Structures are given as structure tokens and as C-alpha cells.
């Protein structure tokens, strides 16, 4: 049977309706410049993280880069991070001339091995860059204690989740910096894009607003009437030359500005967030219950004890000695219109762009990550999946695995 004859089960998708469309149209019918919707969204997302300040940007990847711009660590300083990751969790470390120090993850959780974090710390260590990979949350209480003991910065890359907690506290209450993403496949999205960086330090928040807006000090005033005040604009000199205050560059910044339509869309999504979270939880629970009968073939995903989160996707890791390869089952599923994905980079040092980067690998082997890279894959569990989609997943796995057992 051809792929198009099967119901499509996407790995991720945006679930939106008239509310989001109306919100965007309102922006398009007025001033599209960054404004009140973005500011409202920043406040609400910061609150979800337990942080005082949120600064919206155009992506989670941009938020990660700005995190390291803020810290301004000395060249060659070491940053501990897991080797199973996403590319733009690591690339800011490299771009800023820092030294990534790689540790392994724990089986089934896809989350950093905290014992290896302890062992990897040296006199040159300055920060921990810890992703909540696939939406699972690490033991942030333990990581925060490690960071405090060794006077390290803790950056929480929560691009894969939102509104998560550990030990009944928002994840951002443990970290110095929190980042997240509103990409189209995430639990809420900003019309396909957007990101946020959240901090407590007001001076950091001020710098972030400047850094995302080309490095211009006038970014602090946005597109308000205050920014056009003639007395303020033309009451300044630059190198002794009378100048326009709107074009004073106090930082070497970027154009990481978000769109007001993204904020409007995302605000409408945020109202649906509790319902989206319940649906994701229910879909994850149903798939977990289904796959328990196949635990001889798969290592099932494990939520970190003490964590409350919404997984981005459902992760399956094929056990050694199984009757089939990852390619065999993924091709079978894709032929039945069920989308699959690998666990992002796998071992990032095997990726072409990262193969020759300056890096430290203090451990001889990274067995969990290497097994994930060759044996694990993701399927959807998002709020867009209905009973008919989950039934198709279940029936397809039943068909494939029963066939494998018959051939054995």
C-alpha cells in the first residue's frame, strides 16, 4: 500500500485556529512594530519560568547565543554540556571561543549524567549548559548545588519544553539563565518561530534588549513615542559630533528581534497551553502503556524523578540484540506515513560541522549517547494527535513486531 493511503501521523505540528488568526490580523491592521503584545508575552513566559524578566527573540537558538553574550566568559573557559544534544546548544559555546567539555547522558532519560558533570569540573570551568532534551528535565536541584559550590553559571536550555518544574518549583528558579523556543513543533508556537531568554538580573535584561536590537541603545525605548522625542534624540554627541541618539551602538549586537505577529499568535496559544499540556501528557501515557508489552525490544523513555514536564516527542531506544535495526523499523513506519526522527545530533562530535571543533572529552567512551545515535528514534506525542493517529501507530508497531517474531 502506498504511503498516501495511510493516515498521516506527523512528528510535530502547530495546533491553532481562529483565535490565533484573528490575533495576527489585528496586528496586520495596525502597527506591526514590536510593541505591547511582545511585552505582555515576555512577562507571562518569564513568570512560567519563575524569572523576573523575559526578553523575546526570533528563535531559541538566538536565545542560546545571547546567553553566552551576556556571560562574556574569557576565551578558552570551559563549559560542561552533554554530548547528546541539539546543534545550537553547542554552537554558541564554540562561536564565543569557549571550550565545550562533553559528558554522557543517562539511559532512557536523554538527560545529562550529573555524576559525570561533577567529575568534569576543572579550574577552568565557568558554566554548565544543560538542555532539557526532548522535553525531559534534569535534576536541576542537584545541578544548581554543583554550580553554587563551584561558582559556575547554570544555563537551562528549555527549548524543548515549557512550564516544567522540578521538585514543585519552576525550572527557572534553579538557573541563572533560561531559554526556550516557540518553533512550530513545540507545545506553543509563535506562528512558526520565536524564542525567549529569561533572567533575574535587571542589568542583564537591559543588555539583552540592546543585544537583540542591533546593539543600539535606543532599542530600550522600542517603537514608542519616547523613542522619537526630538529633544532626546538630538541632545547627544558622538566623538564630539552632534548625533542622533537612535543610532548609538553600545554593544556589538544582532538583529534577533521577534515579530509582533509572533507574539500575538503565541499569546493566543498560551491561553490553550493547559489543554495542550494535558493532551500531550495523555498521548505520552497512552503510548507508554502500549509499549510496555514490547520492553524486550525497547528501552522506554523515563521522566526524571521529581520532574513535571511535557515531552516534545516519544523516544524509543532499540535494545542490543533486537530482531531489527532502526533503519528497518523507521522505513516501515515512514512507509505507513508515520514520521520518525533521530534524537537530534546523536553524538555531536560525529556531526560534520562539529567533528574538528576544539573540545574536551574527559571520558574515554560515551556509551549511552553512542547507543542512542545508532538505536533510538522519535515519534510524535503532541496535542495534534487524536485516537485515530495513535491507533495507527499501535497497529503499525503490532504488525511490524509480530512479523519480526514470526520470522525469528
Catalytic positions, please?
A: 186
Taking the mean position of all CA atoms in its chain, how far away is CA 330?
A: 24
What are the cell numbers at 289?
Answer: 502503556
Rounded distance between C-alpha atoms, residue 91 and residue 199, angstroms: 21
Phi first, then psi: give them for residue 79, nearest 5 degrees. Answer: -125, 120
What are the cell numbers at 314?
Answer: 516519544
Rounded distance between C-alpha atoms, residue 388 and residue 70, angstroms: 47
Rounded distance between C-alpha atoms, residue 284 and residue 108, angstroms: 14
Least Cα distance to 287 among 402, 385, 197 occurs for 385
400-406: long-range contacts at Cβ-Cβ below 8 A with a sequence spacing of 24 or more? 400/324, 400/329, 400/332, 400/333, 401/294, 401/297, 404/323, 404/324, 405/323
Amino acid at each position: 500500500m502506498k504511503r498516501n493511503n495511510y493516515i498521516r501521523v506527523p512528528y510535530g505540528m502547530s495546533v491553532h485556529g481562529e483565535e490565533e488568526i484573528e490575533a495576527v490580523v489585528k496586528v496586520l491592521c495596525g502597527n506591526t512594530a514590536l510593541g505591547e503584545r511582545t511585552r505582555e508575552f515576555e512577562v507571562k513566559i518569564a513568570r512560567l519560568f519563575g524569572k523576573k524578566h523575559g526578553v523575546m527573540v526570533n528563535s531559541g537558538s538566538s536565545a542560546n547565543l545571547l546567553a553566552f553574550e551576556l556571560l562574556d566568559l574569557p576565551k578558552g573557559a570551559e563549559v560542561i554540556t552533554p554530548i547528546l544534544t541539539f546543534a545550537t546548544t553547542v554552537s554558541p559555546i564554540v562561536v564565543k571561543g569557549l571550550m565545550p567539555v562533553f559528558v554522557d547522558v543517562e539511559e532512557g532519560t536523554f538527560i545529562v549524567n550529573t555524576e559525570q558533570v561533577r567529575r568534569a569540573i576543572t579550574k577552568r570551568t565557568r558554566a554548565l549548559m544543560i538542555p532539557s532534551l526532548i522535553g525531559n528535565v534534569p535534576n536541576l536541584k542537584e545541578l544548581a548545588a554543583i554550580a553554587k559550590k563551584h561558582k559556575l553559571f547554570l544555563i537551562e536550555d528549555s527549548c524543548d519544553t515549557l512550564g516544567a518544574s522540578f521538585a514543585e518549583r519552576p525550572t527557572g528558579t534553579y538557573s541563572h539563565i533560561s531559554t526556550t523556543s516557540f518553533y512550530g513543533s513545540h507545545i506553543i508556537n509563535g506562528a512558526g518561530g520565536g524564542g525567549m531568554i529569561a533572567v533575574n538580573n535587571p542589568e542583564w535584561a537591559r543588555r539583552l534588549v540592546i543585544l537583540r536590537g542591533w546593539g543600539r541603545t535606543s532599542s530600550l525605548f522600542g517603537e514608542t513615542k519616547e523613542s522619537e522625542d526630538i529633544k532626546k534624540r538630538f541632545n547627544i554627541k558622538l566623538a564630539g559630533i552632534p548625533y542622533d541618539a537612535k543610532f548609538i551602538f553600545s554593544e556589538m549586537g544582532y538583529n534577533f528581534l521577534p515579530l509582533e505577529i509572533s507574539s500575538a499568535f503565541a499569546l493566543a496559544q498560551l491561553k490553550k497551553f493547559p489543554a495542550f499540556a494535558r493532551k500531550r501528557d495523555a498521548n505520552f501515557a497512552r503510548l507508554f502503556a502500549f509499549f510496555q508489552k514490547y520492553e524486550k525490544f525497547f528501552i522506554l523513555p523515563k521522566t526524571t524523578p521529581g520532574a513535571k514536564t511535557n515531552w516534545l516527542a516519544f523516544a524509543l531506544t532499540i535494545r542490543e540484540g533486537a530482531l531489527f535495526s532502526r533503519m528497518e523499523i523507521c522505513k516501515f513506519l515512514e512507509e505507513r506515513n508515520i514520521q520518525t526522527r533521530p534524537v537530534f545530533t546523536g553524538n555531536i562530535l560525529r556531526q560534520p560541522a562539529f567533528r574538528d571543533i576544539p573540545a574536551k572529552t574527559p571520558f574515554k567512551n560515551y556509551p549511552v549517547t553512542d547507543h542512542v545515535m545508532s538505536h533510538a528514534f522519535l515519534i510524535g506525542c503532541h496535542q495534534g494527535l487524536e485516537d485515530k493517529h495513535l491507533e495507527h501507530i499501535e497497529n503499525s508497531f503490532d504488525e511490524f513486531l509480530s512479523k519480526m517474531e514470526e520470522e525469528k
